[in-house]
Amino acid sequence: MCRMDDKFVKDMEWPGMHHMGGFPLIGDELPRLEVKTTHGPMTIPDDFSGKWFVLFSHPADFTPVCTTEFVGFEKKRADFEKLNCRLIGLSIDQVFSHMKWTEWIGANLGVEIKFPIIADDQGKVAATLGMIHPGKGTNTVRAVFIVDPEGIVRLILFYPQEVGRNMDEILRAVKALQTADKNKVAMPANWPNNSLIGDNVIIPPPGDVKSAKERVSGGNVTCYDWWFCHRKL
């Protein structure tokens, strides 16, 4: 995998990309990507229009940690789909490698991988999304992008190659984002099992003194102070 030069970065730019480094950040549109996958050619995010999706990269096929992750994602796939959320993997291996690896997983571990995997054998998708971290080698790190139905990046996680991901946390994050969007609230740490407020949600801070006073005395709102109020959904 070659390091990126200035010309390559320039070629990979898309409208609206302006922050340092050129990689999409939270709140950016995911760049339009035409990719090869184990399910055939796809265009992202177009092919997921109207759906949430989790795009995640793994360092390499036929490696132990990645194998446990793919089994973990597949076992949670139905839970993601209940949230109108799809899964799509990626590494810089070729498509036939993905196919043989998932075939091995099915034959030896009894798990059929049903989500598509991007074969980014030229490394362009990984470079565009900032998945190559030189300090961790030439393979992709364990990146996670949660993207909403409008193609907006809502959450980004990066794990080093030696640490596998927690699929329950990624699923929780999708649920939390959807709940926050629907109810115009914020989610506390470890929601829905927060040590202070349980499964309650946090009300955004008031914009003026009058609203601050009213919310403290509101019937369906509990407050530690005017700036820290929560309620049941």
Supply the pLDDT for residue 219. Answer: 65
Work out the angle at residue 64's Cα, subtended by the Cα atoms of residues 63 and 69, and round it to the nearest 5 degrees. 100
For the purposes of burial, counting CB atoms within 10 Å of the CB of 73, is it exposed (0-12), middle (13-18) or buried (19 or more)?
buried
Q: Which domains does the chain have, with CATH numbers?
A: 6-165 (3.40.30.10), 184-233 (3.30.1020.10)
pLDDT tens digits, 77-95: 999 999 999 999 999 999 9
- Mean pLDDT in the chain? 89
Question: β-strand 42-44 against 33-35: which pairing, if any?
Answer: antiparallel
Supply the pLDDT for residue 20. Answer: 43
**66 catalytically annotated:** yes
Supply the pLDDT for residue 89. Answer: 97
In angstroms, the CA 49 to CA 93 distance is 26
pLDDT tens digits, 201-217: 999 888 888 877 777 66
In angstroms, the CA 15 to CA 26 distance is 16
171: phi then psi, degrees, rounded to nearest 5: -65, -45
Supply the pLDDT for residue 209. Answer: 84
Instruction: State CA 71 to chain mean position distance.
Output: 17
pLDDT classification of 3: cutoffs 50, 70, 90: very low
Beta bridge partners of 228: 225
Give the end-to-end CA distance of the chain in Å, rounded to a whole number. 48
Token pair, residue 221, equals 């709102």
Instruction: Single out the catalytic residue among 66, 85, 223, 229.
Output: 66
